[in-house]
Amino acid sequence: MARWTEAQMPDLGGHTLLVTGANSGLGLNTTRALAAHGAHVLMACRNAEKAEAVRATLLQAQPDARLTIKPLDLGSLASVRALAANLKAEGVKLTGLINNAGVMAVPHGHTQDGFETQMGTNHLGHFALTGLLLDRLLPGARIVNVASMAHRWTPGINFDDLHWKRRRYRRWQAYGDSKLANLLFTFELHRWLVRNRRDALAVAAHPGYADTHLQFVAAEVKQSKLERWGMTVANALLAQPAEMGALPSLYAATAAGVVGGDYIGPGGFQQMRGYPTKVGCRKDAQSEPLAQRLWAISEAATGVRFDA
């Protein structure tokens, strides 16, 4: 695959895409690029003040950008449902849903609904949002779930203790669990769309190792200067710019040749950096029995069922 950049994105005039976590890091760069190519971007963000500041900055650089802020806290199913209801009331139709927002390796905690923070935010919140927005998707729409190399960092999801109530909490393993869940969900969603003859694509993407604020959230929560220093050094030595990290998501959402069930990531060494290409994942990420088990658990936990 030739080096694909933002310059190769198509004209997105008339398109409306929703990006979760659009006010920083990968989400910000995804939003900027989509808007620069004519898309109307719904910036689904938890912090309205930060989102407004980012929107203002983007408009300074591109005054004609179409950017609309939508409140969304993925750690609250009530917030997820409120956003879905708002879009339905406004008659919004989407050509793309980019499930980008997430938290990484934070201390043990729980969402408003009692889910372990990382599984609840990174997977269950997006699972519910996707199910509730199915009727908002136009024919040919793409659903992009942002996963991570970290899906390889866990021995596997413990479905009997999904929220770490009976085990010693391991924050990096829990993060890996949530990213493995992103892939299991993507591939099962692809199969669901095919079975139900829905004209939409489910695709996964990952940024490699990108220099974003995500790496510092846990250090801020823990107030750990040492961890912040370690992440600063690692980012400086190993990470690629956030603009590059956003390319796989942009490719998955807009490029020609993408098919349902694709996984897009950087094509460089160990998928850590480079231009987007189709990449592989661990074998059990594509396990249909595991995906179906996660799907059933997710439906039960969120109360959201995908209507054919």
Vertex 69 angle, CA 138 and 76, to 5°: 85
60/38 Cα distance (integer angstroms): 16
Of 278, 281, 279, 302, the closest CA to residue 290 belongs to 281
Catalytic residue among 169, 175, 251, 275: 175
| 169 included as an active-site residue | no
Residues designated as active site? 175
